[in-house]
Chains A and B, each alone.
Chain A
Amino acid sequence: GQNIDQPTEMTATEGAIVQINCTYQTSGFNGLFWYQQHAGEAPTFLSYNVLDGLEEKGRFSSFLSRSKGYSYLLLKELQMKDSASYLCAVRDDNFNKFYFGSGTKLNVKP
């Protein structure tokens, strides 16, 4: 079966750095996506990795190791507005299929 694991909840302090991990076991792989979802709102795209390594986008970076089935999302200089759920999703070889983790709820405190 397909399995995407993320921590359920994390807490961090404003201004700090936080790393949200995602491990996956899927029958195929054609890219890993990170989305941010504020309560009651639509998920919004943050980053995409298909090759090993780090992708940086402002305060957000995402890392992928395909051999380890592992990714992380790194958030720097945390702001209160970063309090949200962060969803990890893997795209299968069948481009139609996406598998999502349950999401990590990040609480940023002052």
Chain B
Amino acid sequence: ETGVTQTPRHLVMGMTNKKSLKCEQHLGHNAMYWYKQSAKKPLELMFVYNFKEQTENNSVPSRFSPECPNSSHLFLHLHTLQPEDSALYLCASSQGQGAGETQYFGPGTRLLVL
């Protein structure tokens, strides 16, 4: 248990559906991250929030829409996804963004787009 929770753990959705992924951290951290992990590929950083402000958008398609209402919660809103978006979506948090700051990862949401 890393102090970062994600719901749902598994999600199956059609290409026309709209769904949201939720991440919550109980560590008092100020920075939160969304990553995509596809089979046999490196973890890809998608978005970074620091003190609720988005500080990084790594050229992510607009069908992925993040939301960070406060430092403890992070959402990823999904709409009109493609089958190639099927992957494990990991949330992480860190105390700040200083050198050496360790990221703590949640267990991920396994997404399947049909």
Contact = CB atoms under 8 A, between A and B. Distances in A.
In this complex, the interface size class of chain B, counting residues with CB under 8 Å from chain A, is 20 to 34
Interface string B49-72: 010000110100000000000000
In this complex, the interface size class of chain A, counting residues with CB under 8 Å from chain B, is 20 to 34
B42 A102 contact: yes
Contact of A50 (B100, B103, B108): B100
B97 interface: yes
Interface in A68-101: 87, 89, 91, 95-101
Nearest to B39: A102
Interface string A28-50: 00110101000011111100101
Contacts of A101: 42
Contact of B55 (A41, A96, A103): A96
Interface of A: 4, 30-31, 33, 35, 40-45, 48, 50, 87, 89, 91, 95-103
6 contacts: A42-B105, A42-B107, A89-B43, A95-B99, A98-B43, A99-B45
